[in-house]
Amino acid sequence: MFKKEKSLASECKKVLLSQGTTRTMVKNDMKNFHSLSRFVLSVGPLKSNPAVKHSKTTHFEIEILDAQTRKQICIVDKVAQTSTIHDVKQKFHKACPKWQPSCIGLQLECGGPFLKDYITIQSVAASSIVTLYFTDLGPQVNWTTVFLTEYTGPLLIYLLFYLRPPYIYDMKESSRRMRHPVVHLACFCHCLHYIRYILETVFVHKVSSGHTPLKNLIKGCAFYWGFTSWIAYYINHPRYTPPSFGNRQITVSAISFLICEAGNHFINVILSHPNHTGNNACFPSPNYNPFTWMFFLVSCPNYTYEIGSWISFTVMTQTLPVGIFTLLMSIQMSLWAQKKHKIYLKKFNSYMYRKSAMIPFIL
């Protein structure tokens, strides 16, 4: 019994000694870890190797097909996300030099609208491969050339009929008959109208940098030049009959014509202001100028004044060609005004109270 108790006591001492040694080892380890952490904190954060940044630039591949035959014309590769349709046209021109960028029309689907030059590829791309359909738009002309050509022609044609009647009419009859004062006034008003057009095209209007087919220029010139020849022939004819109500009719209509011309000019100046052009445009509001108060009633007062000018010119000259021209211009401008009126209603929330597009309370 005594030996057994002695052996148990020795075993207990061994266990206690082992526990004490482990405790001292743990304490020593804790001290070492604590000192190591303090050392690391004193030194500062460990500097990791800078990670190499790989620039991931997504490029698109543009497949251009013929809109009629659906055959592939070329593939424009390495097109960046920020590239526009204009950039694609430039690359397409380099691949196929026979087509100028202004003659290239690109569509997302056959029969769809042509994509504007400012549209980005990223906005129309559904995947890394984009299919566009090509249409040859034919010869193109910029808008400034179109407007200047359409307006310069009537100015010169009317002056030709006014200054050289012996070369157009019967020489004896034209030299024998005295011209009525309204003929001279009509020439002044007609020239003033188209001179204003030309000056505003050069100095006032912000003409789009885009192009239009050459056939549109031919149509516009045929319309303006043809009607001007018809109008000038009748007004400057030696047998021209003056207005029925004489000077009163001429004076009132001439004053009305000048008022409408002035109003049209001031409205065009306001519309050309930077706040009223571009994507962030705001609807123009009337100012101290009384001619701008028409904005309270209609959304397109420039068309209102334009039609007013031609109605006044019709009353002043009292000729059938001017009346027909005024009627056709009124129909065309009413269509333009209604189209713009719908755009204004969608774009400007504070615009809803304006009810008319061109004619107050009527249209």
Mean pLDDT of 204-226: 85
For residue 3, being part of any structural domain is answered with no
The amino acid sitting at 100 is Q
Q: pLDDT tens for residues 70-93?
A: 887 888 877 787 788 888 888 878
What pLDDT is recorded for position 281? 57
Closest CA to 214 of 103, 140, 104: 140
275 in the same domain as 228: no
What pLDDT is recorded for position 351? 57
What pLDDT is recorded for position 50? 45
In sequence order, the 6+-apart residues with CB closer than 8 A to the CB of 15 are none
226 in the same domain as 146: yes
Mean pLDDT of 183-197: 95
Last residue of a domain, one of 108, 138, 168: 138
Mean pLDDT of 162-171: 83
What pLDDT is recorded for position 230? 96
270 in the same domain as 186: no
What is the total count of domains within the chain? 3
User: In the sheet where 129-136 sits, what is the strand order?
Assistant: 72-80, 59-66, 129-136, 104-107
160 in the same domain as 114: no
- 25: pLDDT strictly greater than 70: no
Last residue of a domain, one of 90, 118, 138: 138
Higher pLDDT pick, 277 / 183 = 183
In sequence order, the 6+-apart residues with CB closer than 8 A to the CB of 318 are 241, 242, 243, 244, 249
User: For all residues of the chain together, what is the average pLDDT?
Assistant: 79
Mean pLDDT of 246-256: 94
258 in the same domain as 352: yes
Mean pLDDT of 221-229: 95
What pLDDT is recorded for position 318? 94
203 in the same domain as 174: yes
- CATH number of the domain within which 106 lies: 3.10.20.90
Q: Which of 42-46, 72-76, 173-177, 287-291 has the lowest mean pLDDT?
A: 42-46
Last residue of a domain, one of 120, 138, 156: 138
186 in the same domain as 126: no
252 in the same domain as 355: yes
95 in the same domain as 152: no
Higher pLDDT pick, 152 / 119 = 152
What pLDDT is recorded for position 14? 52
123: pLDDT confidence band, cut at 50, 70 and 90?
confident
Spell out a b/e string for 143-164, using b for 16 or more CB atoms within 10 Å of the CB, else e. Answer: beebbebbbbbbbebbebbbee
255 in the same domain as 237: no
For residue 1, being part of any structural domain is answered with no
For residue 26, being part of any structural domain is answered with no
For residue 279, being part of any structural domain is answered with yes
pTM, two decimals, is 0.72
For residue 14, being part of any structural domain is answered with no
| Structure tokens that stand for 13 in this block | 């001492």
For residue 39, being part of any structural domain is answered with no
316 in the same domain as 291: yes
Q: pLDDT tens for residues 227-243?
A: 999 999 999 998 889 99
For residue 110, being part of any structural domain is answered with yes
For residue 230, being part of any structural domain is answered with yes
Q: Which of 52-66, 86-100, 195-209, 308-322 has the lowest mean pLDDT?
A: 52-66
What pLDDT is recorded for position 84? 83
Share of the chain above pLDDT 70, in %: 78
Compute the distance between CA of residue 289 and CA of residue 309 in angstroms, rounded to an integer.
19
Range of the domain at 225: 139-242
In sequence order, the 6+-apart residues with CB closer than 8 A to the CB of 57 are 80, 81
What pLDDT is recorded for position 235? 95
What pLDDT is recorded for position 275? 59
What pLDDT is recorded for position 38? 52
Higher pLDDT pick, 116 / 349 = 116
263 in the same domain as 300: yes
What pLDDT is recorded for position 102? 76
- 155: pLDDT strictly greater than 80: yes
Q: pLDDT tens for residues 38-74?
A: 544 444 444 444 444 444 447 778 888 887 788 878 8
